[in-house]
A and B are shown apart, each in its own frame.
Chain A
Amino acid sequence: MAAEPSAASRPPADSTNHGFRVVVAWIALSVVATPLVAILVGRLFPPGNGSAQGTEQVLDNTVLLSVITPVVCLLAVFFVYGLRSFHAAPGAVVDGPPLRNDSRIQILWIVGTGVIVLFLAGFGTFELLQNGAGGGQGPNPIAVPGGSKLQVQVIGQQWQFTYRYPSLGGLESNQLVLPENTDVELHVTSLDVIHSFWAYELGVKADANPGSDNVAFVETKGPETFHVRCAELCGLWHGYMYNNGRVVSSAQFQSWASQQKKLYAAIAPFMNKSPADGGAPYSKTYLPLPSERAG
């Protein structure tokens, strides 16, 4: 040790219990900050209360935020305290105490992060299985809300969505209109490249893949207007692939449907009919010819 230039200038052993101070400050800060953040910030989180799934996502986001707030507090306290207390004097190169390990801290840390991770995964799974959380679940969904559902097929193509209502005689429209307080079963597919159907206020997102049927569920609430955007890069006009949709009362929905039927009466004979109307079976997917390449 004699050869070490810094040994002589090392300050006397520090008797302050830094660890205790940090832990107390962390607990105090977390106890104050976590409820404040959960109450004040959590409700600002998307996508809002436009649907049952949206409400559930907001709750989910709030819980996640409450879990990460103490983690942020720990690092904030640690770095504010540590960088203030443990900085070297200007120009001095003095060795600190040669601490190499402390298995108690390691075990505490591993247990702590492990518990958080298992809670997050468990909670996320629980929330997911409630009603699917509005995400696309593929052709065989695992989280299916009970009761009768209005089927709507969402057909993506470059660069617009078309909505097909099998229960309205295969009616097709470029407007998405849904009745209020209804469970809706969305079948999302594509005619060409991968798109992603994102109804922001409803909390729904489901990729549209050619040749596959991606099912997502949403339970609408009261009347509102919502935004539909494509959330997967789909070529030149991807940025312009957006539209507005509406949730309306049941009566308005019926009158809208009959109005649309009249509007499309001229071309209705050429469109796919639903099996109820004696038409071909309702196709859940479409396969474009590979030789018909856009661009």
Chain B
Amino acid sequence: MTAVAAPPPRPLWRRLLGFNLLTALVLGVGGWYVGWFGAHAVKGLSIAYFADTDYNELSVVMAYIGGVVGFLVGLGFLNYPIARMRGYPPSLREKETHGWTRYFSLCTDHKVVGIQYLWGIGLFFFIGGLNAMLIRTELLRPNHQVFPAGTYLTIVGMHGTMMMGMMTSGILGPFANYLVPIMIGARRMAFPRIEALTFWLLMAAGTILTSTIFFGGFPTGWTGYAPLSNEGNPGMDNYLLFFALVGISMTLLGLNMIATVLTMRAPGLTWTRLPIFVWGVLSTAVLMVLAAPVLIATLGMEMLDRTAQTTFFVAAGGGSSYLYQNLFWVFGHPEVYILALPGFAIVLELLPVFSRKPLWGYRLAVGGLLGVSLLSWFVWQHHLFVSGINGDLRPFYMLSTELISIPTGFTFLCGMMTLWRGNIRFTVPMLFCLAWFFNFLIGGLSGVFLSDVPSDVTTHGSFFSMAHFHYTIMGGLVFTFFAAIYYWVPKMTGWELNERLGKVHFWTMFIFFNSTFFPLFIAGFEGQPRRVVTYSSHLQFLNDWVSVSAFLLGISMLVFLFNLVWSLAFVKKPAEANPWSSRSIEFQLPSPVPVHNFDRIPVFSSDPYGYGEGPVPTWVAPAGAPAGSE
């Protein structure tokens, strides 16, 4: 392959004109006002619809839809469809190869999108984390109000929604986009423009959710239960638009992943040679494609309830509040496995590297991932055990919920047997993977109490369930998210992260994570309901302990942030091509990975886990194979 020559640099003022983030922001604000004033004009024609509120909610919805459209047009997402309609041949002109500006524009290089995702999601993860700190500040004292009750509920809702919405793409966005094409021996994703679109949609969504504070916030938490959401402030529309856009982004991301893995695998990469990480991505992507449209439809119905006074979820108008709960959790339970499954896959991907043994029970591990994603469709009504919707179906949902522990157990067994008799190296990513076992065990076993109806009667909707899902999602996903960062970011950026700071980060995070969330099980058992601004004074010591631990957990995150900025922006120590002695194909490439990934498309002859089974295979291309074109 010939080296790509750098194009001659253009003057700065010329680069600022055209389709880029600056234009996108200008058009986004412009589109926002077009929608705003347009919908206000409609209001004049239909006074009765809005008679019960002094706020035109249609204008909020239309403003943000206009803003998103303007933002995407400004980034240049319409250029290609229009060019194709005018008869231009297909091309990937947006695949820029040089310069920092590609990170701030529509770029179809999957490695650029991966890094965009890493920083973009990191930003909103940080905002969500700050909200958690504010929640714990409020709960320092049982009756003293730091924040007004409405503000507190908005903070709770922002924390939950930001985490549940943004972190759905927490692994698939940065790491799958970057690594899946490399791991399957491809040069790009199946749909590179859609890949870029998923990222920029997510950024627009995050901005919309953050701006809810200008419209009074929303009182419903991340679940957005109707009919409470029917009476919320206009800030409720921000929640609905945020989650609907996240849903669209998730659907497209999932479709793109499925298409890529199905169609673009290099020769020799059979289903049993696929890295387990790719299997995890695939099973997650299937859940995304099937679950997210339900969410989009549900939120669309809720948006109509609010703006056009339909009554899908209003009992007096023939609707049902159960309908919203059902629809939300039909999405919502697969959603939590969308969060958890990539974590399983990362643990199984990293354990062989750091115990120097092949992945034990490959087929069982794959079966576990697929089994969880299949079973996750049959459990959603355990969120409604005490709601009275269908009393005689509770034994079924109790059984199906508990059945999920069988495929989850496969992941535990395969992981543990991979460690068995290995030569374990306690590197920073490995520490995070080992912590996953601890956290997910507690998360899973506390789930036994929640899945059992008699026990759930007390724990349902209490701090116990809150502690449970923080153990599974933060302990399961966020820990593996950091494992992935320490493991792959040197490969992605070409610079090493500081290992000593990494270990400080791990130990402080592990200790304070447990010291924050374990006492919350007790708080739930003692009768503290979720999302309360005040609580019984006899629980103050417990809550203060949790708050202080949470602040220390926040400081641990700052250690990580410092490490990231310090290592990548100041120290800039070049990373080796294969710092972990991994057999995976991405570590056989230079760091960072070159623009076209491979000089020649590789031919696979084994899975990447052959530790102790001979030398690393060389990635050969058959004679006469083309160097590859887009």
A79: B residues at CB distance < 8 A: 434, 437-438
With the chains together, A135 CA to B223 CA distance in Å? 22
B220: A residues at CB distance < 8 A: 233
With the chains together, A136 CA to B456 CA distance in Å? 11
- In B381-398, the 8 Å CB interface with A consists of 384-392, 394-395, 398
Any A CB within 8 A of the CB of B360: yes
CB atoms of B612 and A97 under 8 A apart: yes
CB atoms of B406 and A212 under 8 A apart: no
B interface list, Cβ under 8 A from A: 51-53, 149-150, 153, 219-221, 223, 225, 227-228, 230-233, 309, 311, 314-317, 320-322, 325, 355-362, 364, 384-392, 394-395, 398-399, 402-403, 405-406, 409-410, 412-413, 416-417, 419-426, 434, 437-438, 441, 445, 448-449, 451-458, 460-462, 525-527, 529-536, 581, 610-615
Q: Which residue, of B357, B530, B581, has the highest number of chain A Cβ atoms within 10 A?
A: B357
Any B CB within 8 A of the CB of A148: no
Question: Beyond A94-B356, A97-B421, is A231–B399 a contact (Cβ under 8 Å)?
Answer: no
With the chains together, A192 CA to B461 CA distance in Å? 19
Question: Beyond A227-B527, A233-B220, is A142–B392 a contact (Cβ under 8 Å)?
Answer: yes
With the chains together, A82 CA to B430 CA distance in Å? 14
CB atoms of A135 and B398 under 8 A apart: no
- In A156-191, the 8 Å CB interface with B consists of 188
B223: A residues at CB distance < 8 A: 233
- In A97-116, the 8 Å CB interface with B consists of 97-102, 105-106, 109-110, 113-114, 116
CB atoms of A64 and B388 under 8 A apart: no
Number of interface residues of A (CB under 8 A): 105
Any B CB within 8 A of the CB of A137: yes
Closest 4 CB pairs of A and B: A211-B315, A214-B388, A138-B388, A137-B391
Any B CB within 8 A of the CB of A289: yes
A147: B residues at CB distance < 8 A: none
CB atoms of A128 and B529 under 8 A apart: no
Would you give the 0/1 interface string for A192-223, flagging 1 where the beta carbon is closer than 8 Å to chain B?
11101010100111110111111110000000
With the chains together, A94 CA to B422 CA distance in Å? 9
Selecting from A26-34, A55-63, A261-269, A273-281, the interface stretch reads A55-63
Any B CB within 8 A of the CB of A239: yes
CB atoms of B529 and A230 under 8 A apart: yes
- The residue on A at minimum CB distance from B392 is A142
Rounded to whole Å, the gap between the CB of B538 and the closest CB of chain A is 11
A39: B residues at CB distance < 8 A: none
CB atoms of B448 and A68 under 8 A apart: yes
B420: A residues at CB distance < 8 A: 18, 82, 86, 99
CB atoms of A124 and B453 under 8 A apart: yes
B412: A residues at CB distance < 8 A: 75
CB atoms of A95 and B398 under 8 A apart: no
- The residue on B at minimum CB distance from A10 is B612
With the chains together, A1 CA to B612 CA distance in Å? 9
With the chains together, A224 CA to B149 CA distance in Å? 32
Rounded to whole Å, the gap between the CB of A60 and the closest CB of chain B is 4
When the two chains form the complex, which single residue of B316, B421, B614 contacts A211, counting CB atoms closer than 8 Å? B316
CB atoms of A72 and B388 under 8 A apart: no
- The residue on B at minimum CB distance from A112 is B409
- The residue on B at minimum CB distance from A240 is B534
Any B CB within 8 A of the CB of A35: no
Known: A204-B457, A205-B461, A209-B322. 19 other contacts (CB 8 A): A4-B615, A6-B612, A57-B454, A79-B437, A95-B611, A105-B417, A124-B451, A124-B455, A128-B395, A134-B457, A135-B385, A136-B386, A142-B392, A194-B228, A200-B527, A212-B388, A231-B460, A290-B314, A295-B232
When the two chains form the complex, which single residue of B153, B225, B615 contacts A3, counting CB atoms closer than 8 Å? B615
When the two chains form the complex, which single residue of B410, B416, B448, B532 contacts A120, counting CB atoms closer than 8 Å? B448
CB atoms of B356 and A93 under 8 A apart: yes
CB atoms of B360 and A293 under 8 A apart: no
- The residue on B at minimum CB distance from A204 is B457
B461: A residues at CB distance < 8 A: 196, 198, 205, 231-232
CB atoms of B419 and A82 under 8 A apart: yes
